[in-house]
Amino acid sequence: MRFEPVIGLEVHAQLDTETKIFCSCSTSFGASPNAHTCPVCTGMPGVLPVLNHQAVTFAIKTALATNCTVARESRFDRKNYFYPDLPKGYQITQYAAPIAEHGHLDIELEDGSEKRIGITRIHMEEDAGKLIHDPDRPKSMVDLNRTGIPLVEIVSEPDIRTPKEAGAYLRKLHAIVRYIGVCNGNMEEGSFRCDANISLRPVGQEEFGTRTELKNLNSFRNVEKAIAYEIQRQTYRLEEGHKIVQETRLWDTARNRTASMRSKEEAHDYRYFPEPDLVPLIVDDDWMTEVRESLPELPDAKKARFMEQYDLSGYDAAVLISGRSLADYFEAAAKGLKEAKLAANWVMGPVLGLLKNGEITIENVPVNAGQLAELLKLLEANTINAKAAKTVFDEMVASGKTPAEIVKAMGLEQVSDQSALDDMVTQVMDANPEELEAYRGGKTKLFSFFMGQIMKQSRGKADPKVITQILKEKL
Amino acid sequence: MELHALTIAQAKKLLADREISSVGLVSAMLDRIEAHDAKVGAFLTVDRKGALAAASAADARLANGEDAPLLGIPVALKDLLCTTGVRTTCGSKILEEFVPTYDATSVDMLKKAGAVIIGKTNMDEFGMGSSTENSGFHVTRNPWNLDHVPGGSSGGSAAAVAARMCTASLGTDTGGSIRQPASHCGIVGLKPTYGRVSRFGLVSYASSLDQIGPITRTVRDAAIMMNVIAGHDPKDSTSAAVDAPDFTSALAEFDANGLSGMKAGIPKEYLGMEGLDPEVEKAFADARKVLEDLGVEIVEVSLPHTDYAVAAYYVLAPSEASSNLARYDGVKYGARQKDADGLIDMYKKTRSKGFGPEVQRRIIMGTYALSAGYYDEYYGRASRVRTLIMDDFAKAFEGCDIIISPVAPTPAFKIGENVDDPLTMYLSDIFTLSANMAGIPGLSVPCGISETGLPMGLQILGKRFDEMSVLRAGYGFEQSAPSFPGLPEL
């Protein structure tokens, strides 16, 4: 029997607000344990939560960017369970009435076609703290800095069928939350986390099979690997006549496999009920309008515009819009050029070549977009040729000087003067009689030899187009 | 002059005239506590040092000619209100060592108004009880008769005021916990409208029902306290963004215009109710007569869902409590039991040893009511009953300004009498807890004394945010009622 995987993803994205969702503690990462805590986020008896307006704005942004319908009235609930990283003994979340529902994202499949993945709901909640287990100490420690950091949970419909689709959906969602500036997307720090629900069913069957939930998927690669593993594991189990056990499984990064964490029987009864310390959240028209107007152009729209406006291929546009800063860089570099493709090539080539993981980013790359634009304008005006342009670029990186200064100092202006180049061609032909004879005897490949010799003699400044023309005439 | 017997209004005048000092007044209270609290048991913590320091500071300000609404007045707080640096036990062993790092908003407002916090009063553990017998530390006795309970859960605050160990106190009321002990102790207690007083710093029992209010000697004192503690608090999302009036102007309104034109409803469901003590019935009839003589028109109203109120309340309140009390698990809060074998065992031992039986009973009830498969039948249904009760009151108030009833079906019972019968104890909340379900204000004012010398109170309920009518009627009644023995001898 052949099986079809049914996959749904639950993504937790930390909202990049200054302060926590129900108090004014800082959300910044990396502080010493419990430095960013107060009576409210540590659940001291008697405290009450007050909802962070910015967090709601970010949740609405996320909802609009994923084509969701935002609820005019949503509510918060308590999810009750005991765990040492949860000081109140409950998490404040949205259960019965989430802030947004019924969205979707379109992903691109390998064959170039598009597929729509539904988004069931987006709800807001507070993050829990972190346990620190030091093998040298008999006790575990609790760090509550993360407690109360605002999260949105984005729940997809079970529309995903392959690990690749899961990866594509996740990458797209990741790009969007970073684009709209609501989440820094750092997966290692846990700012963007993913759980996956997976079940198999015989091809053609409508009813879902028993699902397992995968946790601890802390990179795109791991999401794809873990899902692939789990599909295979479930396939074997079913083929061997076993039943799938509904359970939560943990991805073991070191051993590349999933292992059971807890079964359905051990699952918590969260005893959800309406949070009595908060009032219903009302999002009025003014708030919606304000958020809608603050939304930047989204990746899909930007890609389409780049292809149209700059006459770029789908591939080039996809690379250039992959980050908002990169797209802005490209647009600034292409400004005033006749051929935007020239800027695209330079950005995707030499500029991206300068980036180093984390250290050099598009925001602080040594050649800014304005400087690159100057250089490309010189190239487009035939003031310098392509070879010289690369030399100038390297010098710009090294010295920080402007392209015009460098061209002048290094004497790199292109020589396009017909009579000067005529002489040069004659000299080179005279100096290489054997090659000339061979060429005239049919070895036309030697054309590039002559080109090379002339470029060498002109120290790279000769205009290749003009030389080609002269050479063709004289040879 | 017996300093400890002064009302806020009297003490304020003498302090302003520099006839007495705050240190003198506070010392008189401390002496009184010293002399009598061993038998009454009103206090869990007496902050002698802090109180005397605050009194000296108040005297300095008074000497400067400064004025503030409660400058130099000794006030006691139910031990459910957080106080910076002073332990806040909630009447529970599990919080015996808990010292908050912040003041409740109401406490902060009292301090800003110049009040001297004299100590923290005993209570039923986490507010769960009607007799103060459920304290994790000791019982509090009724100053009128030490064999009887003072009521609860704010029994310590009520006993302290009745025994003149403080000039006024704050209590909290989730189902009657201010009004019923005030009634049993022969003093005044006001549960304000839900949202009128910030709950920030009130350790939650049932968040949607809890409300802080004053327990005082007179209605005027209650109004003075309300002027200090009422108002919107940005730290409490459920506190109402409504301006608080000058509550004492309700009293001036009575002085100027009496009560004529006011309509008081008596719910027909409350009349002849089973278990209503004949003495309570008579005291209520007498009170009704006093109001009628003042020109109040008595009308019959109906609260048809009264029969379901107690049942619904005892689903909703324990449900919220089961969640609110989850944080006392021995990890960050709650005295951790050390002899545990692993995390789960530590949770179990900490909570089994730290909570008293009534608290455990309500946590179990609430946990059950919220669990998967039972939620709709219990919590869901109780919530719908709550809506019906709100509608009942809204409809009843279309035909009247206030609703009157006894506060409790009986005078204070004997210590130990109902300990093994939680259901009887729960049913004794019948007249009070509907006000919490509906979120409306309710006042308890003394209206009689039983043959055995135990006080009984009249309850006056009002529309949401209409404490003014309640205070005006209560003050009118207080001024016009036949002489009440005043205060108990100790």
Q: Residue A57: is its pLDDT beyond 80? A: yes
Inter-chain touch A78–B375, beta carbons under 8 Å: no
Q: Output the CA–CA distances (angstroms, integers) from residue A453 to A301, A460, B107, B157, in the order listed.
A: 48, 10, 92, 104
Q: Where are the beta strands (DSSP E) in B237-372?
A: 263-267, 297-301
Q: Residue A287: is its pLDDT beyond 70? A: yes
Q: pLDDT-based confidence at A358, cuts 50/70/90?
A: low
Question: Which SS3 state, helix, strand or coil, does residue A122 take?
Answer: strand
Task: Look at residue A409 in the predicted model and tell me its pLDDT.
Answer: 75
Torsion sign across C-alpha atoms B139, B144, B145, B150: negative
Query: In a mutagenesis test of the A interface, which of B315, B324, B364 is the best target, namely the one with the most A β-carbons within 10 Å?
Result: B324
B78 tagged catalytic:
yes
Q: Residue A446: is its pLDDT beyond 90? A: no
Host H or E run for residue B359: helix B357-370
Task: Look at residue A138 in the predicted model and tell me its pLDDT.
Answer: 80
* Active-site option among B12, B21, B78, B319: B78
Indicate the residue of B199, B320, B327 with minimum beta-carbon distance to A87.
B327
B12 tagged catalytic:
no
Which residues in chain A have Cβ-Cβ distances shorter than 8 Å to B237? 48-51, 277-279
Nearest Cα residue to B197 out of B239, B167, B158: B239
Q: pLDDT-based confidence at A441, cuts 50/70/90?
A: confident
What stretches in chain B show pLDDT beneath 50?
none
CB A30 within 8 A of CB B312: no
Which chain A residues in 75-104 lie under 8 Å from chain B, judged by CB atoms? 78, 80, 82, 84, 87-90
CATH topology of domain A418-474: Arc Repressor Mutant, subunit A (1.10.10)
B306-324 and B357-370 are packed helices; what angle lies between their axes, rounded to 10 degrees? 100
Which residues in chain B have Cβ-Cβ distances shorter than 8 Å to A87? 327, 331-333
Please tell me the distance in Å from A305's CA to the nearest CA on chain B: 45
Q: How far apart are CA A434 and CA B36, in angstroms?
A: 126
B157 tagged catalytic:
no
Q: Output the CA–CA distances (angstroms, integers) from residue A368 to A100, A331, A358, A365, in the order listed.
A: 40, 12, 17, 6
Which residues in chain A have Cβ-Cβ distances shorter than 8 Å to B320? 273, 276
Task: Look at residue A399 in the predicted model and tell me its pLDDT.
Answer: 85
Inter-chain touch B323–A45, beta carbons under 8 Å: no
Task: Look at residue A40 in the predicted model and tell me its pLDDT.
Answer: 97
Q: Which residue has the higher pLDDT, A355 or B142?
A: B142
Q: Is A44 on the interface with B (CB under 8 A)?
A: yes
Q: Residue B295 sits in which domain range? A: 1-490
Report percent pLDDT > 70 for chain A.
98
* Cβ contacts of A373-379, under 8 Å, gap ≥ 24: A373/A332, A373/A333, A373/A334, A373/A335, A373/A336, A373/A337, A373/A343, A374/A402, A374/A403, A374/A404, A375/A403, A376/A333, A376/A337, A376/A342, A376/A343, A376/A346, A377/A336, A377/A337, A378/A403, A378/A404, A378/A407, A379/A342
Q: How many interface pairs between A and B have CB atoms less than 8 angstroms apart?
A: 103
Q: Is A166 on the interface with B (CB under 8 A)?
A: no
* Active-site option among B153, B169, B319, B450: B153
Task: Look at residue B488 in the predicted model and tell me its pLDDT.
Answer: 87
Q: pLDDT-based confidence at A350, cuts 50/70/90?
A: confident
Inter-chain touch A82–B375, beta carbons under 8 Å: no
Query: In a mutagenesis test of the A interface, which of B83, B99, B212, B332 is the best target, namely the one with the most A β-carbons within 10 Å?
Result: B332
Task: Look at residue A169 in the predicted model and tell me its pLDDT.
Answer: 96
Cis peptide before A416 (omega within 30 of 0): no
pLDDT, chain A, mean: 89
Q: Which residue has the higher pLDDT, A138 or B162?
A: B162
Host H or E run for residue A228: helix A220-239
Q: Residue A235: is its pLDDT beyond 90? A: yes
Inter-chain touch B204–A277, beta carbons under 8 Å: yes
Contact partners, residue B150, CB within 8 Å, separation at least 6: B42, B131, B132, B140, B141, B142, B143, B156, B158, B159, B162, B181, B184, B185, B412
Contact partners, residue B472, CB within 8 Å, separation at least 6: B250, B251, B253, B254, B259, B262
Digit-coded pLDDT (tens) for A16-29: 999 999 999 999 98
Q: What is the CATH number of the domain that holds B419?
A: 3.90.1300.10
Indicate the residue of B95, B201, B326 with minimum beta-carbon distance to A88.
B326
Task: Look at residue B336 in the predicted model and tell me its pLDDT.
Answer: 95
Residue whose token pair is 């000087």: A401
Which residues in chain B have Cβ-Cβ distances shorter than 8 Å to A142? 331-332
Nearest Cα residue to B219 out of B484, B479, B475, B481: B475
Domain ranges of chain A: 3-288, 297-410, 418-474
DSSP A61-101: HHHHHTTPEEPSEE--EEEE---TT-TTSEEEE--SS-SEE
Bridge partners, residue A10, by sequence = A155, A195
The pTM of the full predicted model, rounded to 2 decimals, is 0.90
Q: How far apart are CA A217 and CA A188, in angstroms?
A: 10
CB A146 within 8 A of CB A26: no
Pairing of strands B442-449, B188-191: antiparallel
Task: Look at residue B240 in the predicted model and tell me its pLDDT.
Answer: 95
Identify the burial level of A435 via C-beta atoms within 10 angstroms of its C-beta, where 0-12 means exposed, 13-18 middle and 19 or more buried. middle
Q: Which of A86-90, A410-414, B466-470 has the lowest mean pLDDT?
A: A410-414
Which residues in chain B have Cβ-Cβ distances shorter than 8 Å to A48? 199-200, 235-238
Q: How far apart are CA A58 and CA A55, in angstroms?
A: 5
Q: Is B98 on the interface with A (CB under 8 A)?
A: yes
Quick one: residue A97, left, alpha or beta (phi over 0 = left, psi -120 to 50 = alpha)?
beta
Q: How far apart are CA A81 and CA B84, in angstroms?
A: 29
**Nearest C-alpha in A relative to B322:** A80
Which chain B residues in 339-378 lie under 8 Å from chain A, judged by CB atoms? 343, 347, 367, 370-372, 375
Task: Please give the ipTM for the structure prediction.
Answer: 0.95
A369-380 and A386-399 are packed helices; what angle lies between their axes, rounded to 10 degrees? 160
Which residues in chain B have Cβ-Cβ distances shorter than 8 Å to A90? 323, 326
Q: What are phi and psi of B387, to 5 degrees?
A: -60, -40
Q: How far apart are CA B218 and CA B5, in angstroms?
A: 12
Q: What are phi and psi of B118, to 5 degrees?
A: -90, -25
Nearest Cα residue to B11 out of B74, B77, B67: B74
Task: Look at residue A414 in the predicted model and tell me its pLDDT.
Answer: 67
Nearest Cα residue to B153 out of B190, B120, B126: B126
Q: How many distinct structural domains can be found in chain B? A: 1
DSSP A343-377: HHHHIIIIIHHH-BTTTB-TTT-SS-HHHHHHHHH
Q: Is B84 on the interface with A (CB under 8 A)?
A: no
Inter-chain touch A276–B203, beta carbons under 8 Å: no
Query: In a mutagenesis test of the A interface, which of B101, B333, B351 is the best target, namely the one with the most A β-carbons within 10 Å?
Result: B333
Indicate the residue of B82, B320, B375 with minimum beta-carbon distance to A45.
B82
Residue whose token pair is 């969260």: A270
A41-67 as b/e, with b when 16 or more CB fall inside 10 Å? bbbbbbbbbbbbebbbbbbbbbbbbbb
Task: Look at residue A322 in the predicted model and tell me its pLDDT.
Answer: 84
Structure tokens of A33?
A: 């344990």
C-beta atoms surrounding A475 within 10 Å:
14
Which residues in chain A have Cβ-Cβ distances shorter than 8 Å to B439? none
Q: pLDDT-based confidence at A412, cuts 50/70/90?
A: low
Nearest Cα residue to B37 out of B155, B140, B151: B140
Digit-coded pLDDT (tens) for A207-224: 999 999 998 788 899 999
Which residues in chain A have Cβ-Cβ distances shorter than 8 Å to B375? 271-273
Which residues in chain B have Cβ-Cβ distances shorter than 8 Å to A47? 102, 200-201
Q: pLDDT-based confidence at A400, cuts 50/70/90?
A: confident
* Active-site option among B22, B130, B169, B177: B177
